[in-house]
Structure 1
Amino acid sequence: MKLSQKLTKEQLDPHFLKWDRIAVDLAKLHSQRDKRAKDAIQEGLKVYTHLLAHCRDALKDEEFEPLNGSERLSFVEDSAGTYAAYRQLDKLFAELKKTIARKRIELKRLTK
């Protein structure tokens, strides 16, 4: 299987859709100052790390991540119940999506 076939929309969209659902729940939980936000962040972290592992495996690049991704991920893990952690994880998902799109374009150009 070619690298670009492992980074298809069909393979990656379920992760982003799952995050979108979690993010909606997190926004509600934070607006209500609900302590269950920490559990929702943990669920979002699982989705993010699974998606990141899939991308790294597909690209055969263990360094693949958004800018300062590991430091930002550590922040989210350390302060999981906070609104700042939720926003940071949301930004990590958005940047990962952009980074994947950029990689798809690079791979497409290389195969031409």
Structure 2
Amino acid sequence: MISFNAANIQKEVVDPLFLEWESLSQQIHQAHDERNGLAHTLMEQGIALYERLIVKTSSDSSEELIEGEDYEVLPLNGKERLSFIKARPGQYACYRQLDELFKETKKRLARLRLKK
């Protein structure tokens, strides 16, 4: 398991990524409402943002998410859920799942900050 990096889970470091997700999330939701075909592309950006968050908060020096590895910052079943999302990024259910992963990861990071 790849542990977290205590310095990189601080609010000052991760909050900009969560703010970026909030903005992107609204765009994805609107794209699904309008059925304009942009949701797939926006979701790919959201997936990349989530992976960047996981990599940034981990203690590993890798620049990209390592497939098959467990990360301490991932929520319950996070690896499997992310695989599901990546397989079908254009589906509304995957957007909801990614949104939940961001929320759960934010809570997990807060717990890990208290733990350290």
Normalized against structure 1, the TM-score is what?
0.86
For 1:91, the equivalent position in structure 2 comes to 100
Map 1:4-15; keep pairs closer than 5 Å: 4-15=6-17
Residue 30 of structure 2 corresponds to residue 28 of structure 1: yes
Partner Cα separation in structure 2 for residue 103 and residue 28 of structure 1: 33
Greater Rg by CA? 1
Q: Which residue of 2 aligns with 1:55?
A: 57
Whether contact under 8 Å (2:54, 2:71) holds in the other structure is no
User: Structure 1, residues 24-83: CA drift from partner, whole Å, max 9, x if none?
Assistant: 00110001112110000000011100000111227xxx5311100011001110110010
1:105 paired with 2:114, answer yes
- Greater per-residue helix proportion: 1
Secondary structure of 1:57's aligned partner = coil
Other structure's SS at 2:35 match: coil
Q: Which runs of 5+ in 2 are unaligned?
A: 61-69
Mapped to 2, the partners of 1:43 and 1:63 lie a distance apart of: 21
Aligned length: 103
Root-mean-square deviation (CA), in Å? 1.6
Moved over 2 A (4+): 3-6
Offset at residue 87 of structure 1 (A): 0.2
